Amino acid sequence: MNERPDEGTLRAAVGLAGLAPSLFNVQPWRFELEAGALLLHVDRSRSLPVTDPHDRELTLSCGAALQHAVLAMHVLGWRVRVRRLPGAHVPDLLATVEVLGPQEASEAEIALAQAACSRHTDRAQYAPESVAGALLGELLQAGRHAGAEVAVLDGDRRYALARAFAKAAAVHGASQAYRDELAAWTGRASAHGEGMPQATAPQHGVQYGDLVIRDFGRVSAAHEEIGTARTVGSLLLISTATDDRLDQLRAGEAAGALLCTAEREGLAASPLSEAFEVERTRRDVAREVLGDAGYPQLAVRVGWPASGRRPPASPRRSVEDLLRGLGDDIRR
């Protein structure tokens, strides 16, 4: 067997990485192909200056793409070493995935890669049956193994998180700049390969039980409550010890691993970030949920999918598009 993967293998890894979740499905990543390595860059042309002014969520999204890329390389038969933030001289280079040699993929990795291929965000209400504690424990372990802290929120901590989402939705609802930015990425035809198709958005102007989720319609100031807290599902919070770029990247990797694990187990899942896009509500979560002992990065709701429905997957950019603009010498 060759000691280095061929170009087709690296392109296949980019293809799986491109299925990772991202805010508004902007897919803010670019890749380089080098001899025996993948290089992951953040694509700042896809930044969201109103919603994500410090590019924190762009870094989170790229972390999820990194987790998908590493998983792909393992499944394709290669052992790799990841170097995160490898050089200050290339500030938008977030990671290199260097191939060390051949290895055989495990059954668990193959199952996770299959889950990454079929996974997509389900923003609907879930079935009222609760997720067993042992299964939630698997999700926590998957996220923690990637380098972030993950907790299931119940009682007062869940209430505090839900309240932060409601406050953040009100702030966004009053912001014309936010509404304009959201509208620019919502309702796009699948031919664009990016953005939020209307078919994947939740019903306009409602909240699920105790939780206000992002409104992709007119951004209402008031929401009609439908369902119950049980149909929201379980709420998980991904947090980090610091808020530096490395921890943000790790949090994204944790989100990718958690979401793939949820899909593998047949669960529906939806990342939630609106409460962390408003400075005041993010501070509230840090204080009231984490006791100022960490930085909230992303929440995820998980539950059993409602019977008889599965929302369509969001469109994706092509591998050629993800490699575009980096020079013919690294694409051929």
Q: In this structure, which amino acid lies at residue 79?
A: R
Q: What global pTM score does this model have?
A: 0.93
Provide the pLDDT confidence category of residue 228 given band limits of 50, 70 and 90: confident
Cα 225 from Cα 302, distance rounded (Å): 19
Q: What is the DSSP string of 272-321?
A: E-GGGSSHHHHHHHHHHTTTTSSEEEEEEEEEPBPTT--PPPPP---HHH
Provide the pLDDT confidence category of residue 206 given band limits of 50, 70 and 90: confident
Q: Which CATH superfamily is domain 7-118 in?
A: NADH Oxidase (3.40.109.10)
Question: What DSSP state is assigned to residue 185?
Answer: T
Residues 6+ apart with CB under 8 A from 220: 173, 204, 205
Residue-wise pLDDT for 14-58, tens only, equals 999 999 999 999 999 999 998 889 999 999 999 999 999 999 999
Place of tokens 């000691």: 3
Residue 116: Cβ-neighbour burial (10 angstroms; 0-12, 13-18, 19+):
buried
Provide the pLDDT confidence category of residue 81 given band limits of 50, 70 and 90: very high
| 7-118 matches 133-303 in fold | yes
Residue 90 burial (CB count, 10 A): 11
Extended strands (E) in the chain: 29-34, 37-42, 78-84, 93-102, 149-153, 206-208, 224-226, 234-240, 268-272, 295-303
* Reported CATH class of domain 133-303: alpha beta
The closest of 223, 221, 180, 217 to 202, measured between CA atoms, is 217
Give the per-residue pLDDT at 132.
Answer: 97
Cα 163 from Cα 210, distance rounded (Å): 8
Q: Which residues pair with 270 in a beta bridge?
A: 301
* Structure tokens, 38: 């993948």
Strand 93-102 versus strand 78-84 pairing type: antiparallel
The answer to whether residue 330 scores a pLDDT higher than 70 is no
- Mean pLDDT over residues 108-119, rounded? 96
The answer to whether residue 326 scores a pLDDT higher than 50 is no
Give the per-residue pLDDT at 213.
Answer: 87
Residue-wise pLDDT for 280-314, tens only, equals 999 999 999 999 999 999 999 999 998 766 777 88
Give the per-residue pLDDT at 327.
Answer: 45
Domain limits, the chain: 7-118, 133-303
Percent of the chain at pLDDT > 90 equals 75
Give the per-residue pLDDT at 55.
Answer: 97
Residue-wise pLDDT for 263-272, tens only, equals 999 999 999 9
Give the per-residue pLDDT at 269.
Answer: 96
Dmax (CA) for the chain in angstroms is 61
- Mean pLDDT over residues 80-98, rounded? 93
Provide the pLDDT confidence category of residue 88 given band limits of 50, 70 and 90: confident
The answer to whether residue 329 scores a pLDDT higher than 60 is no
What is the average pLDDT score of the chain? 91
Give the per-residue pLDDT at 188.
Answer: 63
Residue-wise pLDDT for 168-202, tens only, equals 999 998 999 999 999 999 876 555 688 888 777 77
